[in-house]
Amino acid sequence: MSHTLDTRELTPLGVEYIFGASLVAGVNDRTSALDSVVFGVDIQSGDVRGDAPSYALVVVDTRDTASDEVRIERDVVSFRKLRRLIERDEPAIVATDNMYELATDKDDLVRFLRWLPHGTRLVQVTGAERPEPLSRVASRHGVPYGKDPMKEAEAAARLALANVGYEVVAFENTTTVKVSRGRSTGKGGWSQDRYTRRIHGSVKQQSREVESALKEANLEFERDVTEKYGGYSQALFTVEGRPQDIPVSTHRSGDTRIEIERERRDGVEFEPLVKRRDRVIVGIDPGTTTAVAVVGLDGRVLDIHSTRTADTPTIIEWLIERGRPTLVAADVNPMPETVEKFRRSFDAAGWAPPSDIPVDEKLHRTRDVNYENDHERDALAAALFAFDDHEDQFERISRKVPADVDREEVIARVLTSEESVEAVLREMNDDDASGGDDTEREQQEQPELSPEQRQIRNLKSRVERLESHVEDLNETLDEKNETIEEYKKELSDARREERREARERREVNRLERENGRLERTVESLEAEKDELAEKLDRLKSLWKLDHSNFDDVNTEGNLAPVKIVEQFTNGALDHTVEEYGIAAGDVVYLRDASGAGRTTAERLAAFDPRAVIRSGNLSEVADEVLFEAEVPVAPADDVTIQEIDELAVARKDEIAAAIDAWEERAEERRKEKQKSMVDQIISEHRAENRRQ
């Protein structure tokens, strides 16, 4: 590698040695990753989405060196060369401040993780889903930092070596080992059976060897085989372990091949390199089922648990394993006595909402987290709402805490003692400074302060008070700005609502004008209808006088006119409407009732005829439409229709009888339909009960 020189002294081999103590100084009592190789990577130029990005690479090697020394190498490499070096050296960790400097998107990141050697982990040293700036993390852990990409890569490597950061994980600790045919069985031939039997026998033999190797390694697994002629065509082993733990490798040999693939998770997740007992917020929902939720001071959900059998000491032990409770929260007001007991057990601060948290707000706040039941939801909501209530306070405290002071410890003391940050810092400094015999220290004479020193002390105190007041004023200003933004939003919403109402008023006016026009059209059509009805009455009178062959039925008031439609189509309906008109209460005769669809039937039903006499059978669709519209339909055999030229009449009593018969059939049909619907509801109800 080529090396970037600095003021440090290099050995003749071009490798820099530094003392391990300085490398991991100030890392908050973490255990460093000893006896390993760590790659620190930061993008030097270009972009991973571009053609040729280059990377600043810092290799920290703690192998084969003295216990207090590590070796560092630096280089600027291309992405292809970086992958070659990872394949060659198989480092324990590839550390970066942003995982998307090595992949274009999530799918590309998963492919990169799949490609990494089995013993290599990708670590994002700046955090998990919401990473911090690298400068802040490095300062907090006492690691040298510079804005130069090479210095950022070195800071990432140093932090990872000290087990700072989160491993990027996309695969489960479950591996699939697939033993299958290494070549095709072919299309046939005189020796095809023997050839196929040999391949399947080889797969079976290879699967037995794999099974034996897994058993010798004491690995738990499940086997699923596909039996074929002469043996197996495939054997699938689902192994509880990582690929490096499995004594089988991917290879292809003759008739068989072995493929090894890790089971992928639903998405990309983050796992801390070191699980520490950090300060946490605990939400508790007591009752027959007790649920507890643990949330970090950064708002990240760490764990959720519910139980109906565990007692209080067991739950306390469970919480102690996951952190040091700093704030214990409930979702109701006042805080239940059980939650108060937990708070006193941990000597933590308490939080309760001003009033009981509504269920819809709980659902909204916990929508991004998976939980098992409503009790876990309530406990999680209590912890998250407590974090929301203190988030600004945590940020203000963090800004005031120096880099070399434990931020979480300061937050815990401020919450429990309700003192200012400055007072807590002074108390912590006094605790750190105390170390001698208290009696002797009390006996020491305190030097008398000079007037200048007293003035300096008073001025410093005044500056602290003023700075605190400025922060309060800034917070007030922020709150006022937020209020102004809310008012602006309300004003914008009001203007938007006013514009919507204006559009509605214009639309109402337009519809009123259109309604007036349609009413005038209806009046005109009603007048035209009355005129046509009078014309029809005159035609019927003339027809009765001119046709003597109707004498047998022409009793006073016993005949009803019938409108003839040659075929049940839109065209035939148009012809009848144009020639004679169809009005509500008319009797319509369909000379050919077949072939009508939904649209034609709906159009006929819209005329609201008194009855429809049909020759031939209606389609199922047309029959259903007329039935739903309650239009009586009778076969032509039930009504005597007498035609003269283009006019027709029928006996009113026969029409009435046909309508009565239809009513009886319709009632039976409605009962059958209702019965079928009730049966369906009962079936669905029974099925729902079985699922529950």
Tell me how far apart the alpha carbons of residues 667 and 677 are, in angstroms, rounded to a whole number: 15
Domain match, 659 and 625 both: yes
Domain total for the chain? 5
Most confident region among 129-133, 332-336, 400-404, 547-551 by mean pLDDT:
332-336
Tell me how far apart the alpha carbons of residues 284 and 291 are, in angstroms, rounded to a whole number: 6
* pLDDT the model gives residue 460: 74
Q: Select from 270, 22, 26 the least CA-distant residue to 125.
A: 270
140 confidence band (pLDDT: 50, 70, 90): confident
Q: Which residues, 6+ apart, have CB-to-CB distance to 644 below 8 Å?
A: 543, 547, 549, 550
Helix locations, 116-191, DSSP H: 134-140, 149-161
* pLDDT the model gives residue 525: 92
Domain boundary among 118, 145, 164: 164
Across 13-25, b (16+ Cβ under 10 Å) vs e yields eeebeeebeebbe
Residue 111 sits in which domain range? 16-164
The mean of the pLDDT values for the chain is 81
Q: Quick one: 289 exposed, middle or buried, by C-beta within 10 A (0-12, 13-18, 19+)?
A: middle
Please, which residues bridge with residue 235 across strands?
179, 225
Output the domain CATH number for residue 365.
3.30.420.140
- Over its C-alpha atoms, the chain yields an Rg (Å, rounded) of 44
Q: For residue 405, tell me if it sits in a domain.
A: no
Domain match, 337 and 294 both: yes
**Helices 337-346 & 312-320, crossing angle to 10 degrees?**
50
Domain match, 535 and 636 both: no
Q: For residue 330, tell me if it sits in a domain.
A: yes
Tell me how far apart the alpha carbons of residues 323 and 436 are, in angstroms, rounded to a whole number: 32
φ and ψ at residue 388, rounded to 5 degrees: -55, -40
Domain match, 493 and 605 both: no
* pLDDT the model gives residue 330: 95
Domain match, 22 and 152 both: yes
Return the structure tokens found at 541.
């009178």
* pLDDT the model gives residue 324: 85
DSSP structure class, residue 173: E
* pLDDT the model gives residue 474: 83
* pLDDT the model gives residue 281: 93
CB contact at 8 A, 139 and 403: yes
Q: Is the pLDDT confidence value at 284 over 90?
A: yes
Q: Select from 262, 217, 238, 252 the least CA-distant residue to 118.
A: 262
Residue range 147-168: average pLDDT? 89
Whole-number Cα distances in Å, 642 to 560, 563, 646 = 11, 12, 11
Domain boundary among 370, 400, 430: 400
Whole-number Cα distances in Å, 593 to 568, 601, 623, 646, 687 = 5, 10, 10, 18, 42
Q: Is the pLDDT confidence value at 440 over 70?
A: no
* pLDDT the model gives residue 33: 46
Tell me how far apart the alpha carbons of residues 510 and 515 are, in angstroms, rounded to a whole number: 9
Q: For residue 431, tell me if it sits in a domain.
A: no
CB contact at 8 A, 614 and 591: no
Tell me how far apart the alpha carbons of residues 606 and 461 are, in angstroms, rounded to a whole number: 91
Residue range 659-669: average pLDDT? 89
Domain match, 598 and 524 both: no
Domain boundary among 519, 546, 573: 546
Most confident region among 36-45, 176-185, 423-432 by mean pLDDT:
36-45
Return the structure tokens found at 33.
């990753």
Domain match, 182 and 228 both: yes
Q: Which residues, 6+ apart, have CB-to-CB distance to 468 below 8 Å?
A: 420, 422
Lowest mean pLDDT segment, chosen from 69-78, 453-462, 495-504, 558-567:
453-462
Task: Give the tens place of pLDDT for each residue, 379-397.
Answer: 999 999 999 999 988 888 8
Q: For residue 685, tell me if it sits in a domain.
A: no
CB contact at 8 A, 373 and 306: yes
At 245, the amino acid letter reads D
Domain match, 20 and 150 both: yes
Higher pLDDT, 22 or 424: 424
Q: For residue 1, tell me if it sits in a domain.
A: no
Q: Select from 165, 164, 161, 166 the least CA-distant residue to 34.
A: 161
Q: For residue 502, tell me if it sits in a domain.
A: yes
Q: For residue 472, tell me if it sits in a domain.
A: no
Domain match, 254 and 310 both: no
φ and ψ at residue 451, rounded to 5 degrees: -55, -40
* pLDDT the model gives residue 602: 92
Domain match, 159 and 29 both: yes
Domain match, 237 and 153 both: no
Q: Quick one: 308 exposed, middle or buried, by C-beta within 10 A (0-12, 13-18, 19+)?
A: exposed
Q: For residue 430, tell me if it sits in a domain.
A: no
Q: How far apart are the first and last CA of the chain?
A: 66
Most confident region among 67-76, 236-245, 269-278, 365-374 by mean pLDDT:
365-374
Q: Select from 595, 556, 563 the least CA-distant residue to 577.
A: 563
* pLDDT the model gives residue 483: 87
Domain match, 371 and 483 both: no
Residue range 33-38: average pLDDT? 68
Residue range 360-372: average pLDDT? 90
